Amino acid sequence: MPEMFTPEEQQKIDLVKSKLQNNFWLQVYKEILENRNVFISGGCFASLFWDEIPFDIDLFVLDNYYTQEMTQYQINKALSTLDKKTIPYQTLIEIHRTSYKTIEEFLNYPDMMHSRLYYTFYDNALHITKETYDSIMNKKIVPNNQPIPNFRVEKMKRRGWSI
């Protein structure tokens, strides 16, 4: 059954999708991102929903699909076409090759609910549950299938989140 979001919540979700589609640095990685084995996940979404610049954006690759050489080749190819004078602020893009076979398997990995969502560039889809959305918008620390290390809880508290 599809998640039910209010029109205002859906508008916020669509805005985050637009930010990702139009992100300068993600355009550099477009050839990589359009592969169905690659998706964006992690804490960057909390920043995007709160209209903050994320420190980094994590790209995850299923089943070690890309080798380091392939990834670096595609990045260098994309960077060579850029006009260096028009490059905006730097958002760190991190590529994580994983051994997970499916995204569903991966979603058990994050320790906090606010990171239990993902975005697929090829179809401009933000896969988010109401529980995850509420965790982000209420800045509520909610465990996801495992204990949260204390240093991570403290980091989130310093950012205004609560248990």
Task: Note down pLDDT in tens along the chain; length 163 residues.
Answer: 466 899 999 999 999 999 888 887 777 777 777 878 889 999 899 999 999 888 888 888 888 666 565 566 666 665 565 555 444 555 677 778 888 889 999 998 888 999 999 999 889 999 999 999 999 999 999 998 889 999 999 999 999 999 9
- Side-chain half-sphere CA neighbours of 37 within 13 A: 15
- Identify whether the C-beta of residue 112 lies closer than 8 Å to the C-beta of residue 141: yes
For the chain, give every domain's residue range. 7-158
- pTM of the entire predicted model: 0.81
Classified by CATH at the fold level, domain 7-158 comes out as Beta Polymerase; domain 2 (3.30.460)
Write down the pLDDT at residue 1: 47
Tell me the β-bridge partners of 125. 120
Residue 64: predicted pLDDT:
64
Beta pairing partners, 118: 41, 127
